[in-house]
């Protein structure tokens, strides 16, 4: 076998191994994305339930004030991270 064909074969094997590694990593990342998306949906639903209960117990004015305070605190935190 010539040196060129050996080099070509080695490069092909190297690329094949790289493809396999990246495919496995892609699969792992897709699984993690799915898990995190499901967790996000669950937390969003839980958050909405808490907001509904808070509105029912304390009234919409209290919830509105909490939202405004939360927005204000978040803005201050964003300014501190700049």
56 touches 48 (CB < 8 A)? no
For 39-49, the pLDDT digits (tens) are 999 999 999 99
Q: What residue numbers bound the domain in which 64 lies?
A: 6-80
Asked if residue 21 is part of any domain, the answer here is: yes
Q: Which two tokens stand for residue 79?
A: 């300014």
Asked if residue 17 is part of any domain, the answer here is: yes
The pLDDT assigned to 75 comes to 81
| Rounded percentage of the chain residues whose pLDDT exceeds 90 | 62
Asked if residue 1 is part of any domain, the answer here is: no
66 touches 57 (CB < 8 A)? no
The pLDDT assigned to 38 comes to 98
51 touches 63 (CB < 8 A)? yes
Asked if residue 11 is part of any domain, the answer here is: yes
Mean pLDDT value across residues 15-30: 98
Counted domains in the chain: 1
């Amino acid at each position: 076998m010539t040196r060129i064909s050996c080099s070509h074969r080695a490069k092909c094997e190297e690329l094949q191994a790289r493809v396999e590694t990246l495919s496995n990593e892609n699969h792992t990342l897709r699984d993690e994305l799915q898990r995190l998306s499901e967790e996000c949906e669950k937390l969003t639903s839980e958050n909405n339930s808490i907001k509904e209960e808070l509105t029912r117990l304390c009234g919409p004015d209290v919830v509105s004030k909490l939202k405004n305070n939360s927005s204000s605190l978040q803005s201050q935190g964003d300014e501190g991270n700049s």
